[in-house]
């Protein structure tokens, strides 16, 4: 049975999926069986620090199919903001689990990166440990900047090997950027950046004792092994985390919480669903919102979020919005955040997500922008006669919206959807609905 989509917790712009190791392996197995291309990131504090200053990396991590927390400071940060993550999912532990899965299911793995010595030794150890494991190929390209690499040679090697899992050991952010750069060329179901995991499996670097891993002291053990490379990095990461994390914590804690009944109201406007958020977007209301948004996106409709009356948004709410935005981008649909209250503007800015979303001052402006894009891509539109003018409300007949109503109301037998409030709410956007 497929795993349900895991909750996502946004920490400083990086959306971490709230999964255990077993759940992560199960999701990866489903991605392999489903085909396509899926990028997985095992993100630690160093990822956060790079992402804070590198918008390209931040957008790549937001677009990944799975991001797991590879570091105790990530778990501590999420807990401090009231949205705890289940457990640490470490890349060095994930690789052997994937080798075991591959041996059991008949998948093949390709190693890209690390030194030839480490790559070969890691392959030998994993093949001995998991009989039947198929290593489709290995390649350790010369260490060069990303723009100077021989990409065609690497892609050709991978294409001929046809693996099910690609493990890239270039280090962050190079490995994430390389995978994103070639996502349209790679015919590999699951690709994962694994950093120095092959070096550790090969025995080039020793692993910290279990008690140090569980207490978050593994960084100290690693720094003792590679002081010249890691001490400066760890100090810089700690200082940067100490500077930026309190900003998100403060913005999260200072949000107003409403005691009134919270709810979400979908309003149908042409090929767009306007979802009005009243009160706190948490708990059951967040689940209801995700259902409305999923139904709309799966039906090929654009979405505008009316946030004029929104209350509290937690880190899991931000994670849900990131997932929605990523899904809409893949489907080539538009998502707009409209009429954001000041506390939500501060929250997005402190969470380093303000540049990831399209925002506007009004719902009408979002609808206008959507219509403008739609006209540019589709010169002949069923709604080409509409004019988006707030001063002159559009007469929109129900028969023109029946198809949209039908698709949004999928699953109505199991969930009551009352569009009456939505139609009444439409007057806020300068629209009238007549029969």
- Integer-rounded Cα Rg, in Å, for the chain is 24
What pLDDT was estimated at residue 268?
Answer: 94
What pLDDT was estimated at residue 229?
Answer: 85
Q: Is 191 domain-assigned? A: yes
Low-confidence ranges of the chain (pLDDT < 70): 1-4, 378-435
What pLDDT was estimated at residue 383?
Answer: 44
| pLDDT tens digits for range 108-129 | 999 999 999 999 999 999 999 9
Q: Is 386 domain-assigned? A: yes
Q: How many domains does the chain have?
A: 2
**How many Å apart are CA 71 and CA 329, to the nearest integer?**
29
Are residues 289 and 357 both part of a single domain?
Answer: yes
Q: Output the furthest CA–CA distance in the chain (Å, rounded).
A: 74
Q: Is 254 domain-assigned? A: no
| pLDDT tens digits for range 238-261 | 898 999 999 999 999 999 998 889
CATH number for the domain harbouring residue 363: 3.30.750.24
Q: Is 333 domain-assigned? A: yes
pTM greater than 0.95: no
**How many Å apart are CA 175 and CA 26, to the nearest integer?**
23
**How many Å apart are CA 408 and CA 413, to the nearest integer?**
13
Q: Which of 218, 246, 274 is the last residue of a domain?
A: 246
**How many Å apart are CA 337 and CA 316, to the nearest integer?**
17
What pLDDT was estimated at residue 431?
Answer: 54
What pLDDT was estimated at residue 428?
Answer: 56
Length of the chain counted residue by residue: 435
What pLDDT was estimated at residue 377?
Answer: 74
The residue range of the domain holding 187 is 8-246
Are residues 229 and 293 both part of a single domain?
Answer: no
Six-digit token string for 372? 């403008």
Going by C-alpha positions, the residue among 94, 91, 92, 36 that lies closest to residue 65 is: 36
Q: Concatenated DSSP letters for 287-332?
A: HHHHHHHHHHHHTT-EEEEE-TTEEEE-HHHHHHHHHHHHHHHHTT
What pLDDT was estimated at residue 259?
Answer: 84
């Amino acid at each position: 049975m497929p795993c349900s989509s895991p909750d996502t917790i946004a920490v400083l712009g990086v959306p971490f999926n709230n999964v255990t190791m077993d759940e992560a392996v199960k999701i990866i197995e489903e991605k392999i069986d489903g085909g396509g291309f899926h990028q997985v990131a095992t993100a630690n504090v160093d990822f956060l620090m790079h992402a804070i200053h590198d918008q390209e990396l931040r957008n790549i991590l937001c677009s990944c199919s799975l991001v797991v927390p590879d570091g105790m400071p990530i778990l501590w940060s999420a807990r401090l903001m009231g949205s705890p993550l289940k457990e640490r999912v470490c890349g060095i532990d994930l690789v052997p689990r994937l080798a075991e899965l591959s041996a059991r299911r008949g998948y093949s793995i390709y190693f890209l990166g690390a030194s030839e010595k480490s790559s070969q030794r890691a392959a030998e150890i994993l093949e001995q440990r998991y009989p039947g494991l198929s290593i489709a190929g290995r390649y350790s390209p010369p260490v060069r900047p990303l723009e100077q690499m021989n990409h065609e040679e690497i892609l050709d090697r991978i294409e001929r090997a046809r693996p099910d899992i690609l493990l890239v050991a270039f280090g962050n952010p190079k490995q994430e950027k390389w995978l994103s750069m070639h996502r349209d060329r790679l015919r590999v179901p699951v690709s994962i950046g694994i950093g120095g995991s092959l070096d550790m499996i090969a025995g080039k670097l020793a692993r910290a004792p279990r008690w140090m891993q569980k207490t978050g002291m593994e960084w100290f053990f690693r720094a003792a092994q590679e002081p010249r490379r890691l001490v400066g990095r760890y100090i810089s990461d700690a200082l940067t985390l100490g500077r930026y994390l309190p900003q998100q914590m403060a913005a999260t804690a200072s949000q107003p919480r409403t005691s009134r009944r919270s709810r979400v109201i979908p309003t149908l406007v042409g090929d767009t669903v306007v979802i009005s958020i009243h009160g706190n977007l948490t708990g059951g209301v967040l689940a209801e919102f995700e259902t409305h948004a999923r139904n709309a996106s799966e039906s090929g409709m654009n979405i505008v979020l009316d946030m004029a009356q929104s209350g509290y948004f937690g880190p899991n709410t931000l994670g849900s919005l990131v997932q929605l935005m990523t899904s809409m981008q893949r489907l080539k649909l538009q998502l707009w955040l409209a009429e954001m209250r000041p506390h939500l503007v501060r929250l997005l800015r402190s969470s380093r997500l303000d540049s990831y979303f399209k925002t506007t001052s009004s719902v009408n402006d979002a609808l206008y922008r959507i219509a403008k894009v739609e006209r540019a891509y589709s010169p002949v539109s069923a709604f080409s006669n509409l004019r988006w003018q707030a001063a002159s409300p559009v007469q929109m007949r129900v028969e023109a919206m029946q198809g949209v109503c039908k698709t949004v109301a999928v699953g109505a037998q199991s969930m009551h959807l009352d569009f009456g409030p939505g139609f009444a709410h439409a007057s806020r956007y300068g629209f009238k609905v007549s029969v």
